[in-house]
Amino acid sequence: MDTTTTLHTGNLPQHLAIIMDGNGRWAKKKGMLRIFGHENGTKAVRETVESCARLGIGYLTLYAFSTENWNRPKMEVDTLMNLLVSSLEKELPTLQKNSIKLNTIGNTAMLPDGARKKLLDVIEQTKGNTRMTLTLALSYGSREEIISAVKKISEKVQNNQLNIADISESVIGAHLYTHDLPDVDLVIRTSGEQRISNFLLWQVAYAELYFTEVLWPDFREKDLHEALISYQKRERRFGKTSEQVK
Ligand code: IPE
Ligand code: IPE
Ligand code: MG
């Protein structure tokens, strides 16, 4: 077994996606309300974003709020939406300093007006940045994304703009929210849960999966490096034999 414990800069994932989980449990362990965990999760977001940009990871996608998360208590949902606005305001200088372009995937029409406007504003202000694309998955659900793609494709078929025979992987990919992002190479999920929770089902077809017990507010650069080192030790075969990919 390869027991290397240092990260090398070659062979990093081009697209890293993170399911930031465990904010509520982190707060509960401290005898605090769940929202205290969300507030502290923003520090881990900042550190992770900056670390990824420094390392030269081209695409970072963060699962911030799922379509299913709308079913949480209203007070928690409101707090998360307010945190989104304040974080976008606070982090804009960090995005500019590191030349990070903000992007979003999900049914953002569902977001409250203030949050949607702030999001569009930061996307507009950072659109010329080239070092890394930071995508926030907000009101995101993979099944909903696939349904929306099927509807758009069906409409094109109905209007004779597309032949059924021409529907391919790339046609489907082009109608997903992620049309301008490469496939995901690595998914990290914190908090010990080992599930995908309706995140990028199409896009993770050949991603490596990494699970850590660390709760999201405690996730630091060393934890990111551990995940990346684990990724670098894996052989991605894409269905071929080991000899073929060597
Ligand atoms: C992740 O932490 C943040 C969101 C889903 C918005 P959780 O809020 O899911 O925290 P746990 O899983 O309940 O600990
Ligand atoms: C997934 O976490 C969604 C986000 C991290 C935004 P959840 O905490 O909502 O997922 P489940 O309910 O444990 O699967
Ligand atoms: Mg959770």
Q: Is the pLDDT score of 22 beyond 80?
A: yes
Overall average pLDDT of the 237-242 stretch: 97
Q: Is the pLDDT score of 112 beyond 80?
A: yes
166 in a structural domain = no
176-180: long-range pairs with CB below 8 Å, 24+: 176/145, 176/146, 176/149, 176/202, 176/203, 177/105, 177/106, 177/140, 177/145, 177/148, 178/105, 178/135, 178/145, 178/203, 180/103
Overall average pLDDT of the 215-223 stretch: 98
Overall average pLDDT of the 159-176 stretch: 98
Overall average pLDDT of the 88-96 stretch: 97
Sign (positive/negative) of CA torsion 7, 11, 17, 19? negative
Confidence of residue 5 (pLDDT cuts 50, 70, 90): confident
Q: What is the CATH number of the domain that holds 23?
A: 3.40.1180.10
Question: What CA–CA distance (Å, rounded) separates 182 from 78?
Answer: 32
Q: Is the pLDDT score of 192 beyond 80?
A: yes
Collect all residues with Cβ–Cβ distance below 8 Å to 119 and sequence separation of at least 6: 84, 88, 102, 104, 108, 111, 136, 138
Q: What's CA 159's distance to the chain center, in Å? A: 34
pLDDT, residue 45, reads 98
194 in a structural domain = yes
pLDDT, residue 9, reads 86
Per the prediction, the chain carries an average pLDDT of: 97
In 3D, which of 241, 95, 231, 108 has the Cα closest to residue 177? 108
Q: Is the pLDDT score of 1 beyond 70?
A: no
Confidence of residue 3 (pLDDT cuts 50, 70, 90): low
Confidence of residue 208 (pLDDT cuts 50, 70, 90): very high
Question: What CA–CA distance (Å, rounded) separates 16 from 231?
Answer: 11
pLDDT, residue 152, reads 98
3 in a structural domain = no
246 in a structural domain = no
pLDDT, residue 4, reads 62
Is 103 noted as a catalytic residue in this protein?
Answer: no
Overall average pLDDT of the 161-187 stretch: 98
Overall average pLDDT of the 52-59 stretch: 98
Is 69 noted as a catalytic residue in this protein?
Answer: yes
Q: Report how far ligand 1's centroid is from the alpha carbon of 40 (Å).
A: 12
Residue 65 CA: nearest ligand 1 atom is: 6
**Ligand (nearest to CA of 37):** 1
Ligand 1 atom 13: the closest Cα is on which residue? 24
Q: Report how far ligand 2's centroid is from the alpha carbon of 189 (Å).
A: 10
Residue 69 CA: nearest ligand 2 atom is: 9
Question: What CA–CA distance (Å, rounded) separates 151 from 157?
Answer: 10
Overall average pLDDT of the 185-197 stretch: 98
pLDDT, residue 10, reads 86
Overall average pLDDT of the 11-27 stretch: 98
Q: Report how far ligand 3's centroid is from the alpha carbon of 22 (Å).
A: 5
107 in a structural domain = yes
User: In total, how many domains does the chain have?
Assistant: 1
For strand 15-19 and strand 132-140, is the pairing parallel, antiparallel, or unpaired? unpaired
210 in a structural domain = yes
Ligand 2 atom 9: the closest Cα is on which residue? 69
Range of 72's domain?
11-141+184-233
pLDDT, residue 29, reads 98
243 in a structural domain = no
153 in a structural domain = no
Helix 34-55 and helix 221-232, axial crossing angle in degrees, nearest 10: 60
Out of 21, 72, 197, mutate this one to test ligand 1's pocket (max ligand atoms within 8 Å of CB): namely 21
The 3-class secondary structure across 106-123, one letter per residue, is CCHHHCCHHHHHHHHHHH
In 3D, which of 18, 29, 24, 65 has the Cα closest to residue 41? 24
